[in-house]
Amino acid sequence: MKIRLQHLSLIGALLFSTQLYAQADESAELAALREEIRLMRNEYEARIADLETRLDAAEERAADEPAQAAGPPPGEAYQPPVVASAGTVSVARDNAFNPAIGVTFQGQAWSYQNDPDDYVIPGFPLGGEAGPAPEGLSLAETEISMSANVDDKFTAMLTVPIAIEDGEVAVELEEAWVETLAMPGGLSLRMGRFYSDIGYLNDRHFHAWDFADQPLVYQAFLGGQYLDDGLQLRWLAPADFYLEFTGEVFRGDNYPAGGAANSGMGSATLGAKTGGDIGFSNSWLLGFSWLRADADGRESGSEDDPLLFTGDTDLFIADFVWKWAPNGNSRQKNFKFQAEYLWRNEKGDYSVPGGTEGPWNYDQSGWYAQAIYQPFPRWRIGARYDHLSADTPDSVWQGTPLYPMGHDPKRYSVMVDWSNSEFSRLRFQYNHDQATGMTDNQFGLQYIFSIGAHGAHTF
């Protein structure tokens, strides 16, 4: 038993000692491990610090690029990104100087009771591009526009409409002008081909109008819109309110001028405009303009067998626009009232197909007023009234297109349009047209889409 006990104690001692040994062995190993971990940690910390500095540097470099985004990790104080000073230069591609290009697509569908080819307003033989759109489906002008600054002193604009005329594709030159940027004293000079600044609608492109056709006064007195080759000088007075004066000289090739009379300086205009705001919600614009045109064999009426006029045209226009939007926030809700009055005197000689000819000196006038209301975003409704009146000429002219009917031509229109975005618009329009002497109910559908360069929000 004793031995057994001794054995046991020996075994116990042995066991104990091995355990001890193992413990000693383990603690050495642990220390080694700890040391290793410490070294590793140091190494990683150094690596992390290195990575952090490299990241900072990368962020700084990235900030030098025009733009980038790197938000801070959640829960930390905001670290504003570093940015280079303004005017960072990037490598320009060859096309970096391409002008701003835009294309406007326009299409329409019209239904008439009377044949639009026979559209004649008695007393007002139409010139230029005036007249109703074709019946049924058709494309209106597809317009390509380009604009850019030429250099530090000039800017240029080109508008090329592509139209289908009598089944043929026709590329026209609508606007091609260069304008000064750096003239002193509030002056600017435009040269080239452009829409005259007279009236309110005349220098606005068709697709920016609120109805799918032109007011009767524009058809009767301006051939749709007065466009010609010439020069325009504009002076903006340094007043506390808007006051602008414009003077133009044109070649005089287009209606209401014609034949580039007066050695190719056939027409001239003068205009003054003023306007302002009333509180935050209302703004207005008032303009007066005068056009003097020499006509030399100017054509109007039927294209195949036109009336010819040689003489002087004096046209006066007064235009007024008033816009309202609650707090000036037109995006939600807005209202626009627009009216123009045109008066003209033509003095000269008319020659009418069929042989009638003789001296002519008569006054004509007309006006339109329209109101457009946007009750909520995207939808607009509008109404327009057109009116023309004319002196009754000598009985010699009875039976010719120059002789007005017994009562004044007039037209009532309503429209509703929907714009998904600034770049798209669909429109329905109804006209009750009493201009020709035969009442016509006209229904029109129109689309206007634009791609490319952002259109301007003109007043």
Partner 1 sequence: MKKYIGGVFLLLIISLPITAHARLNVFACEPEWSALADEIGGSLVKSTSATHALQDPHYVEARPSLISKVRKADLVVCSGAQLEIGWLPMLLGKANNPSVLPGRDGFLEASTVVVRLDVPDSVDRAQGDMHPQGNPHIQMNPHNIARVARALGERMALLDPENAEAYTTGTEEFLARWNSAIAGWEARARPLAGERVVCHHKSWIYLEDWLQLEEVATLEPVPGIPPTAAHLSALLQELGTDGSGADAIIRSPFQSAKASEWLQEHTGIPAVMLPLTVGGSEGADNLFGLFDDVIDRLLALKQGPGQ
| Chain positions contacting partner 1, by CB under 8 A | 63, 66-69, 71-72, 74-75, 77-78, 80-81, 83, 85-87, 152, 155, 179, 181-184, 186-188, 234-236, 238-244, 273-277, 280, 283-285, 323, 327-332, 377-378, 420-423, 451, 454-459
- Cβ-proximal residues to 432 (8 Å cutoff; 6+ apart), any chain: 411, 412, 413, 439, 440, 441, 442
> Between residues 333 and 410, which has the closer beta carbon with respect to partner 1?
333
> Between residues 95 and 421, which has the closer beta carbon with respect to partner 1?
421
Give me the least distance between CB of 81 and partner 1, in Å please. 4
Stated as kind and residue range, the H or E segment containing 64 is helix 2-64
- Residue given tokens 């590329």 in the structure block: 171
> If DSSP codes are grouped into helix, strand and coil, which group holds residue 132?
coil
Instruction: Please choose, from the candidates 282, 294, 284, the residue with its C-alpha nearest in 3D space to the C-alpha of residue 327.
Output: 282
125 burial via Cβ count (<10 Å: 0-12, 13-18, 19+):
buried
Give me the least distance between CB of 327 and partner 1, in Å please. 4
Q: What angle do CA 447, 452, 454 make, to 5 degrees?
A: 85
> Between residues 41 and 153, which has the closer beta carbon with respect to partner 1?
153
Q: How many CB atoms lie within 10 A of CB 341?
A: 17
Give me the least distance between CB of 89 and partner 1, in Å please. 12
Give me the least distance between CB of 308 and partner 1, in Å please. 39
Give me the least distance between CB of 181 and partner 1, in Å please. 6
> Between residues 184 and 406, which has the closer beta carbon with respect to partner 1?
184
- Cβ-proximal residues to 74 (8 Å cutoff; 6+ apart), any chain: none
> If DSSP codes are grouped into helix, strand and coil, which group holds residue 19?
helix
Give the C-alpha separation, 154 to 191, whole Å.
11
- Render the burial of 288-316: b for 16+ CB within 10 Å, e for the rest: ebebbbbbbebbbbeeeebbbbbbbbebe
> Between residues 88 and 398, which has the closer beta carbon with respect to partner 1?
88
Give me the least distance between CB of 273 and partner 1, in Å please. 7
> Between residues 16 and 459, which has the closer beta carbon with respect to partner 1?
459
> Between residues 75 and 406, which has the closer beta carbon with respect to partner 1?
75
> Between residues 12 and 186, which has the closer beta carbon with respect to partner 1?
186
Give the C-alpha separation, 295 to 345, whole Å.
13
> Between residues 102 and 393, which has the closer beta carbon with respect to partner 1?
102
Give me the least distance between CB of 90 and partner 1, in Å please. 12
> Between residues 152 and 165, which has the closer beta carbon with respect to partner 1?
152
Give me the least distance between CB of 257 and partner 1, in Å please. 26
Give me the least distance between CB of 316 and partner 1, in Å please. 21
> Between residues 395 and 458, which has the closer beta carbon with respect to partner 1?
458
C-alpha distance from residue 15 to each of 8, 25, 92, 381 (Å): 10, 15, 83, 103
C-alpha distance from residue 346 to each of 291, 358, 367, 401, 403 (Å): 12, 13, 18, 15, 14
**Sign of the CA dihedral 88, 91, 94, 95?**
negative
Give me the least distance between CB of 280 and partner 1, in Å please. 7
Give me the least distance between CB of 329 and partner 1, in Å please. 5
Query: Phi first, then psi: what are they for 51, rounded to 5°?
Result: -60, -40
> If DSSP codes are grouped into helix, strand and coil, which group holds residue 407?
coil
C-alpha distance from residue 309 to each of 343, 362, 396 (Å): 18, 13, 16
